[in-house]
Structure 1
Amino acid sequence: MDNPDFSAQALRQAQVQMPEHGGRLRRAVAEYGIPLERWVDLSTGINPCGWTIPLIDNQTFMRLPENDDELEAAAAEYYGSSDLVPVAGSQEAIRELPRIRQQLFGESRVGVIAPGYEEHRYHWQLNGHQVERLAAEQIETELHRFDCLVLINPCNPSAVRFDQATLARWHQQLAARGGWLVIDEAFLDTEPQQSMIQPQMPSGLIVLRSLGKFFGLAGLRVGFLFADAEIRQMLSRAIGHWSIATPSRWLATRALWDTSWQQEARTWLESSRQRLVRLLEEALEDLPGSLQGRGLASTGLFVTVQIDDAAELAHRLAQQGILVRYFEPYSSLRFGLPGNEHEWRHLARSLTEATAAESQIQV
């Protein structure tokens, strides 16, 4: 006899399409016939000048992970709270939270910010919850209908921000009825004073952080969940003892300790953000239709533009070895930061040529 729980899960998985992501550089290499080394990959929003990996002892690779090393202490110091669980990138917490909610409360009504990182919507829906996409401007009036609200702050890819007072009010409203406010702060390291992480995490508030974006260490797969004791305990049981490899734990600890690099990185990223905003504004201002809606918005790690023919511009940039992220439903492009002067010049030249060609077609 078939296992009914497995069958239901398999059916949901078949009906829920897995999200697409940036960073598909090798697919672009095959599609456009441009060698890998000639590409400038701006599709991911990862710091292109990330923390420098030091020499690491070979013995580190020979040991199983130990939960009583220095990683938790380094993270508590950096984030300002010890109410945390290390996870294999915030993706592991994104996957497990809907399961934990299902175990505790059963099927829930979940509002997920849109546009946003689609893995949130995917896993809540995959685990049988009623999921509805919400635009930022809908949340205030629609919050009463939901048990959980899942946000990204600042939002990827829209760069919309939510202030702490608003988030605190929404958390109180949800927690009063046993609900959760889940905040993905993957892009908040450039402005850490805006974090909702608290020394003692209250019930119903869950915050996710990662070393992937600001530190430029996406390949380490190290992140953290901040929540109350019950959720932390359930997550720890779900992921087991060896979620993060020993070398990743060792390197993440030292990156979190490196306050000098962190300060320098924030200064460089802000300067680069401003430079990219100016470059895009100048390049796109003469396109037919110009920038629509909000037009251009940014975080410390990417700039998103909304234009009439985003797909065509993304294609023309790719023809010149510039890979950006295209969001079809919103006619938007997300540009990560170039990592050196060669990449800046390549982007500036490619934008000039791509927008000139597009303008000629549309005239």
Structure 2
Amino acid sequence: MHSAPRHGGNLRTLMANFGGTLADWIDCSTGIAPYSYPLPSMPVEVAQRLPHPSAEFEDVVASYYGSSAFLPVAGSQAAIASLPMLRRAGKVGVLRTSYAEHAWRWQLAGHTVITLNPDEIAYAAQHLDVLVLVNPNNPDGLIWSRETLLALHQTLAARGGWLMIDEAFIDAIDGSGANSLCADAEREGLIVLRSVGKFFGLAGVRLGFVFAQAALRERLAQQIGPWNVSGPALWAGQLALAERCWQAAQRERLAADGTWLAALLTDVGLPPRGSHPLMQFCPVKNIDQWGYALACNRIYARPFNTLDIGIDAIRFGALAVEQRTTFEQRLRFAARQVA
């Protein structure tokens, strides 16, 4: 049985034990970009009207993702919670070290969840009803090739199964969309989730998309209900998805920040096993000591030390350039405390 997932981004729990104010802490517990798309002042009518996606919104989304086969949702989390209720109970495969909400939500809906290592995926797909993969994977950045995923989909679809790909972290490494499966989502049994929260630094907006065949999108829309995405979210998403120059600059700065952070972590004895511009996944042998030392120095990173994960590790999210000096000082002091 999978336990309820823990998430980053909630500093109040640590502040209750280690003190300080929000301004005193460096929060790198999430995979959210530290640079947000610069939204202008919102027209008041955006909040006054009931939210209906406009033709302009749909055109911008289709241009960015390369497909018009989408349903807007209030963050991809809304789809993660709702999609398991659209299938009768079956066998669902998830990666052992991955975003825990997937396993949790399928389990809550009455499915049998099977945790898998990467080298077990191909064989398991022959016996599963649903396979859920995060690409790139959260928390370790593991990337599945487009060819591998389409082969897995073919195996599953031949038996009436689903392949669900969560691409919440793909924007930072794939500006062209060449590795995304959004354009393939009208294939039967293929579902692709996308999020505006991570790469665009707009997690509070709560906007995501489900790419799938029309019949499945219609069933999901009925399950979720009307007006599930707010007017401000539709407005913000249209602006952010249309701004290609900002997107290119965002990828460049996130890549540079990720390279810097990986080098620093390696230097203090936390070499990442997996790297992504928005997260560094660092296995550790003494996770309790590291967790305590980081918190004492008011660094909020994300520990992974539950039995279902199968590894003790700390994930560090992206840091803005202006945080580097303070973060490095605190991290090096924490490393001396652990040594």
Larger mean CA deviation between 81-90 and 303-312 belongs to: 303-312
Could you give the per-residue CA deviations for residues 257-285 of structure 1, whole angstroms, max 9, x where no partner exists?
Answer: 11110000001111111111111111116
The reply on whether 1:142 has 2:109 as its aligned counterpart is no
Query: 1:197, 1:226 within 8 Å by CA — same for their partners in 2?
Result: yes
Distance 1:71 1:199, change over 3 A: farther
Q: How does 1:1-363 map to 2 (within 5 A)?
A: 17-101=3-87, 106-192=88-174, 193-198=178-183, 201-284=186-269, 295-329=272-306, 330-341=311-322, 343-359=323-339
Task: Normalising by structure 1, report the TM-score.
Answer: 0.88
SS in 1 for 2:232: helix
Distance 1:40 1:200, change over 3 A: closer
Larger mean CA deviation between 76-85 and 20-29 belongs to: 20-29
Amino acid paired to 1:337: A
Distance 1:242 1:159, change over 3 A: same
SS in 1 for 2:182: coil
CA distance in 1, matches of 2:113, 2:273: 28
Q: Percent of aligned pairs with the same residue?
A: 39
CA distance in 1, matches of 2:72, 2:38: 21
Per the TM alignment, residue 16 of structure 1 is displaced from its structure 2 partner at its CA by 6.2
Distance 1:200 1:157, change over 3 A: closer
Greater helix proportion: 1
Q: Which runs of 5+ in 2 are unaligned?
A: none
Per the TM alignment, residue 18 of structure 1 is displaced from its structure 2 partner at its CA by 2.2
Amino acid paired to 1:298: S
Query: 1:179, 1:204 within 8 Å by CA — same for their partners in 2?
Result: yes
CA distance in 2, matches of 1:243, 1:275: 39
Q: For this pair of structures, how many residues does the alignment match? A: 332
Runs of 4+ in 1 over 4 A off after TM superposition: none
Amino acid paired to 1:53: L
RMSD: 1.4
SS in 2 for 1:182: strand
CA distance in 2, matches of 1:166, 1:237: 32
CA distance in 2, matches of 1:27, 1:70: 42
Per the TM alignment, residue 358 of structure 1 is displaced from its structure 2 partner at its CA by 1.2
Query: 1:111, 1:132 within 8 Å by CA — same for their partners in 2?
Result: yes
Could you give the per-residue CA deviations for residues 38-70 of structure 1, whole angstroms, max 9, x where no partner exists?
Answer: 111000010001211211112221111113353
CA distance in 2, matches of 1:265, 1:235: 32
CA distance in 2, matches of 1:146, 1:87: 27
Name the structure 2 match of 1:7.
none
Per the TM alignment, residue 240 of structure 1 is displaced from its structure 2 partner at its CA by 2.2
Per the TM alignment, residue 72 of structure 1 is displaced from its structure 2 partner at its CA by 2.1
Query: 2:185, 2:211 within 8 Å by CA — same for their partners in 1?
Result: no
CA distance in 2, matches of 1:253, 1:125: 34
CA distance in 1, matches of 2:44, 2:233: 13
Query: 1:112, 1:120 within 8 Å by CA — same for their partners in 2?
Result: yes
SS in 2 for 1:132: strand
Per the TM alignment, residue 199 of structure 1 is displaced from its structure 2 partner at its CA by 5.7
CA distance in 2, matches of 1:231, 1:53: 33
SS in 1 for 2:131: strand
Q: Which runs of 5+ in 1 are unaligned?
A: 1-14, 286-290
Amino acid paired to 2:240: A
CA distance in 1, matches of 2:273, 2:223: 40
Task: Normalising by structure 2, report the TM-score.
Answer: 0.94
Amino acid paired to 1:261: W
CA distance in 2, matches of 1:299, 1:340: 16
Distance 1:199 1:328, change over 3 A: closer
SS in 1 for 2:303: strand
Q: Which has the larger radius of gyration?
A: 1
Query: 1:67, 1:241 within 8 Å by CA — same for their partners in 2?
Result: no
Query: 1:311, 1:326 within 8 Å by CA — same for their partners in 2?
Result: no
CA distance in 2, matches of 1:20, 1:356: 28
